[in-house]
Amino acid sequence: MTRLTIGLCLVFALAGLSLFVGVTEIGPLDLLRGDVDAQQVQVLLASRVPRTLALVLAGASTAVAGMVMQMIVRNRFVEPSTAGTVESAMLGLLLITLFAPGLPLMAKMLVAAGFALAGTALFLRILRMVPLRDVLMVPLVGIMLGGVIGAVCTFIAYRWGLLASLGAWSMGDFSGVLRGRYELLWVAGGLAAAAWFAADRLTLAAMGRDMSTNLGLNYRMTVVIGLVIVSLVSATVLVSVGTIPFLGLIVPNIVSLRVGDNLRRAVPWVAITGAGFVLICDILGRILRAPYEIPIATMLGLIGSVIFLHLLLRTRHNASA
């Protein structure tokens, strides 16, 4: 049995555990024996199964989107939430909620994706104008850009009474996921699969414009494809469950330490690790303060910040060695 198969089995085990964690007690043995009532079946089918699928799809696609952005920008400390992408998507969603609240969810997602793409393009434009003497300058520029866009979002939300909606989008939470309210995440899963099909081109693009062009790659088109994938995934996850911080940053870094930078090999591992990490955080969030829940954004923010600091210190140590 290969290590990838073992990892996939662990994710399936975590997904199975997620189905039986919650306020309503549903035991796996009771389910196998058929010793469950109608209410338990309804909770399982309408809430637990959609929530588990949403966790897997959001975790896998967000982690893959983070790795794609790192390959495009050629910096290990960049992901949608540290490049202004998520904040730009939030601005688009805020404006469309303000001026066209009756639009279908798919249309809102596309508008948010368009803003995310524009914000990411602005981030790349700023990087070309700023002398980057340190690898940490790139995420610093992205965090500052995200802060500016986030301030604009806060002003608009305060001015028109949408602070509650903005807070909900800023705090990733799967407690409200029900059947009929998560299916958009299948689009994000399909985009993660598209990143795997474009893996060879994205790996070449990570070598830089000159090198990849000399190897016969259409560098500009490849970068556009990568940015579209990142923007659509960010918008889809934001519209469905809110912001998931640090996931697209730490998972690709952990995987690259073991697998390397070949996207063809790394994408399955990134997807599996991202899904497993989100499942673990969500299960812990439901157990630690049961019957209450800790939002997954809080759990990921706590764990992710510790891992992020470790990666920063490790980079500093390697640079000074």
| Per-residue pLDDT, 125 | 87
Structural domains of the chain, ranges and CATH numbers in brackets = 3-316 (1.10.3470.10)
Cβ atoms of 79 and 237 closer than 8 Å: no
What tokens were used for 293?
């829940």
In a structure prediction context, what are the per-residue pLDDT tens digits for the chain, which is 321 residues long?
588 888 889 999 999 888 888 777 777 776 777 777 778 778 888 888 999 999 999 999 999 999 998 888 888 888 888 888 889 999 999 999 888 888 888 888 899 999 999 998 898 888 888 776 666 788 888 888 889 999 999 999 998 888 888 888 888 888 878 887 788 889 899 999 998 888 888 888 888 787 888 878 888 888 888 888 998 998 899 888 888 888 888 888 888 888 877 788 888 999 999 999 999 999 998 888 877 888 888 888 888 778 777 777 765 555 455
In angstroms, rounded to a whole number, what is the distance separating the alpha carbons of residues 260 and 245? 23
The interaxial angle of helices 49-73 and 185-197, nearest 10 deg, is: 40
In angstroms, rounded to a whole number, what is the distance separating the alpha carbons of residues 130 and 91? 25
Rounded to 5 degrees, φ, ψ at 117 are -65, -40
In angstroms, rounded to a whole number, what is the distance separating the alpha carbons of residues 179 and 176? 10
| Per-residue pLDDT, 156 | 92
Q: Residue 159, Cβ neighbours under 10 Å: how many?
A: 10
| Per-residue pLDDT, 63 | 92
3-class secondary-structure state, position 307: helix
Q: Of 247, 256, 251, which Cα lies nearest the Cα of 203?
A: 256
What tokens were used for 125?
């434009």
| Tokens 């029900």 sit on residue | 178
| Per-residue pLDDT, 318 | 56
